[in-house]
Chain A
């Protein structure tokens, strides 16, 4: 019997092909798995077969990294068609992409590149999200970015930009709590203020990940959204605060994409997210309440 499509309001992990056996042996350890769509865009073979087997046991969240929603050029129709094919294969409970761009003039740069928040870029993003939602025949979630700098050209702040996207496209949001913390540190704002202003009613999923600490050329602390380690204590605090503020849970993903540990380590992080969320819902205000 196939697992239900709907993703439960608990924690899941990013799906790594090497973890397939471990996941199939103990699927109950996580509430769902999230896949990077581009890893399953072959014609066939072991990756897709493994995905189908996992789908029998767990709901899937489909997370694209290559659509380039924020590009000023048109979306790649071929890539959108490939995304639709992966969605048809895994019948995902959620489909999401990033507020970023990664393609230009036919080339793909494999990073989430930033865009200035202007009326012109807003119109482009709205147009692209609408195209994705029309093609897939469903609502998608858009993820807030990690920022390393801000654009002089931005005419509005990130939250105003995101709110306008939600209003105009009806899309939902991924609130990546690590991204909020990374951006707040890098740009000098307060994470809790961002959460307070964020359109939480549109949030359909939360992301958590580890970040690396670096410094810019002026010696200022610069956090990098590295996805290569455990979630930082300060990000757990912000997650607790976010769930407390929302007053309910949404599916929550542990992202760990580099230096990937074994499945049990990922599942333990997911269990920790469940415990932190539960304590927030039990009314414990947490470290950021003051």
Chain B
């Protein structure tokens, strides 16, 4: 191991990266084209990397950023960039673990929802099934029926206060009884549908592959309304 004072040789890519994310590590190996050592110009890369990745996270986590405020979000994002740089150049996937850094469960859930929304935007295309598909099933077959989720659909259990914050951020109506959000993208627009606790429990069961009879055995469930919410959101791809 080099001692703390040994400058990183920037011609070596491992050393370059080591110095990139450690602002105080001295560097060497650069000049300004006119004979002067120019290690100071390495700052451009430190700035570019930090700034561009913080910006990318700020795009994905817009409501989280608005709630935390610019400075606090920036500090959070910088730590994330330093400790968990992206594992892929496909930057819209970046930040899956950023919510874990938020101690406040309301903020954490909000951030989880935001990341999931972006993934839904880029998820695979599929034609969602309509309610009429359900109507075509014989009543005696309904309990054994399974509902295959649409590739963009995801259920995010959330603190009610996080749902309220998100609804306010996007200007949607309050949903005081909701304990989860259903994310879906029937065509190109991502929908966020707050679900009450019984509907969320049923949906979790269905998305896990449970048959309808089993998934719908939930106290207080309004089965008709719950199924309508799933189908209207385009969250079901096919019946099985």
Contact status A47-B85, CB under 8 Å: no
- B residues 26-42 near A (Cβ < 8 Å) are 28-34, 36, 38, 40-42
- Identify which of B31, B56, B85, B152 contacts A149 (C-beta below 8 A): B31
Contact status A46-B31, CB under 8 Å: no
B89 on interface, CB distance cutoff 8 Å: yes
A220 to chain B, nearest CB (A): 7
Q: Provide the bound-state CA to CA distance between A76 and B87, in Å.
A: 11
CB nearest to A258 among chain B residues: B55
Q: Provide the bound-state CA to CA distance between A260 and B88, in Å.
A: 24
Q: Which of chain A's residues have a CB closer than 8 A to the CB of B88?
A: 79, 108
Contact status A44-B11, CB under 8 Å: no
Residue of B34, B42, B44 most packed against chain A (CB within 10 A)? B44
- The interface residues of chain A, by DSSP majority, are classed as loop
**Total count of chain B residues near the partner, CB < 8 A:** 46
Contact status A46-B188, CB under 8 Å: yes
A71 on interface, CB distance cutoff 8 Å: yes
Q: Which of chain B's residues have a CB closer than 8 A to the CB of A186?
A: 32-33, 41
A167 on interface, CB distance cutoff 8 Å: no
Q: Provide the bound-state CA to CA distance between A105 and B48, in Å.
A: 19
Q: Provide the bound-state CA to CA distance between A104 and B49, in Å.
A: 13
Q: Which of chain A's residues have a CB closer than 8 A to the CB of B30?
A: 149-152
CB nearest to B33 among chain A residues: A187
B151 on interface, CB distance cutoff 8 Å: yes
Contact status B125-A44, CB under 8 Å: yes
Contact status A150-B90, CB under 8 Å: no
Q: Which of chain B's residues have a CB closer than 8 A to the CB of A25?
A: none
- Identify which of B34, B87, B89 contacts A102 (C-beta below 8 A): B89
A88 on interface, CB distance cutoff 8 Å: no
**Total count of chain A residues near the partner, CB < 8 A:** 52
B137 to chain A, nearest CB (A): 28
A26 on interface, CB distance cutoff 8 Å: no
Q: Which of chain B's residues have a CB closer than 8 A to the CB of A217?
A: 40-41, 43
B217 on interface, CB distance cutoff 8 Å: no
Known: A42-B121, A79-B88, A103-B89. A111 touches B45 (CB 8 A): yes
Q: Which of chain A's residues have a CB closer than 8 A to the CB of B185?
A: 45
CB nearest to A121 among chain B residues: B11
Q: Told that A110-B53, A111-B52, A152-B31 touch, could you supply 5 new A-B pairs with CB distance under 8 A?
A: A43-B122, A43-B124, A66-B89, A107-B87, A110-B49
Give residues in B with beta carbon < 8 Å to A. Answer: 10-11, 13-14, 16-17, 20, 28-34, 36, 38, 40-45, 48-49, 52-53, 56, 85-92, 120-125, 151-152, 185, 188-189
- Would you mind naming 19 contact pairs between A and B with Cβ atoms under 8 Å apart? A43-B123, A44-B123, A45-B123, A66-B89, A82-B90, A103-B89, A105-B17, A107-B17, A107-B86, A108-B88, A109-B49, A109-B53, A111-B49, A149-B30, A149-B31, A149-B38, A150-B38, A216-B41, A217-B43
